[in-house]
Structure 1
Amino acid sequence: MNLEIISQLNQSQVKDLVQLYQSTWWGKGRTLEDVEKMLQHSDIIIGINNSDHQKLIGFARVLTDYVYRAVIWDVIVDSAYQKQGLGQTLIQSILDHPQLQLIEAFLLVCLPETIPFYEKLGFTSDVGELKLMKRVKGSTNF
């Protein structure tokens, strides 16, 4: 299997990404149009392309100020390629990215069952008193 790390997606790979999102509980319903817009406004994207099949099989993206914080989003590996170290490759590619070497802290959101995976890569769930908050589109609680 010939794999390549990529930092830009062609149109076929964007369609593959939409399919990857459809395979997740949190990305179902994402449309091609929305994913294209999201990619335009992500600071860094990392993909893993299977050159043998010309197919995107892994993806992650980063939003950052390039100094203090970088937030890692949407870490996905095609289910047929999981348990092969590709998730670790995605994260390590982000951590080693030349444009992110000044970052003071990398942040990400994950499910409890994935905490051990991220801990192996140097992340901690000990964030002190910090709490994650969200506001959903259309919310009128103020």
Structure 2
Amino acid sequence: MDITYSFEERPNADLIIELYDNAGLPRPTHDKERIQKMFDNSNLIVTAWDGDLLIGVSRCITDWVWSCYLADLAIRKEYQKDGIGKTLINLTKEKVGEQSMILLLSVPTALEYYPKIGFKKQESSFIIDRAEWK
């Protein structure tokens, strides 16, 4: 397995949708245009590749000096538990630097994962939910 990581290579919506569906990440993958806009409007994306196969992605929105919102972390099922998610997060942290925190909203299935790789659970967050996917 020869995994490469990239800050420059942005996958197209079809590759992203296939990855998210494979990884079980609940995103509006039925809406290709919305997925593309999610990536077009993100300013820090790190991808993981096994040859031409997209196997992981970290998608973030950041100001580079205070906070970095990790909006998506997805790893292809057959590559999970190989350290790829942790590497994507480490590369993300390296890129935003020491002045910026990384924060996220976890899907229920990943609640046990994030503390294992250095995240601290916070009890001080609030959310206004989006409209239902259509």
**TM-score normalised by structure 2 residue count:** 0.83
Q: Structure 1 residues 37 and 25 mapped into 2: Cα distance closer, same or farther (>3 Å)?
A: closer
Which structure: larger Rg?
Answer: 1
Query: Is contact 1:43–1:63 with CA below 8 Å preserved after alignment?
Result: yes
Q: What is residue 19 of structure 1 aligned with on the other side?
A: 18
Unaligned ranges ≥5, structure 2:
none
1:28 Cα shift?
4.8
Q: What is residue 46 of structure 1 aligned with on the other side?
A: 46
Q: What is residue 110 of structure 1 aligned with on the other side?
A: 106
Query: Is contact 1:66–1:102 with CA below 8 Å preserved after alignment?
Result: no
Q: Structure 1 residues 90 and 119 mapped into 2: Cα distance closer, same or farther (>3 Å)?
A: same
Over the aligned positions, Cα root-mean-square deviation in angstroms equals 2.1
2:130 counterpart letter in structure 1: V
Q: What is residue 118 of structure 2 aligned with on the other side?
A: 122
Q: What secondary structure, in the 3-state scheme, does the structure 1 residue paired with 2:81 have? A: coil
Of the two structures, which has the highest relative contact order with CA contacts closer than 8 Å and spacing of 6 or more? 2
**TM-score normalised by structure 1 residue count:** 0.79
Aligned residues: 130
1:94 Cα shift?
0.6
Query: Is contact 2:2–2:50 with CA below 8 Å preserved after alignment?
Result: yes
Query: Is contact 1:47–1:60 with CA below 8 Å preserved after alignment?
Result: yes
Query: Which has the higher mean CA deviation after the structures are superposed, 76-85 or 2-11?
Result: 2-11
Of the three residues 90, 94, 97, the one matched with 1:96 is 94
1:46 Cα shift?
0.6
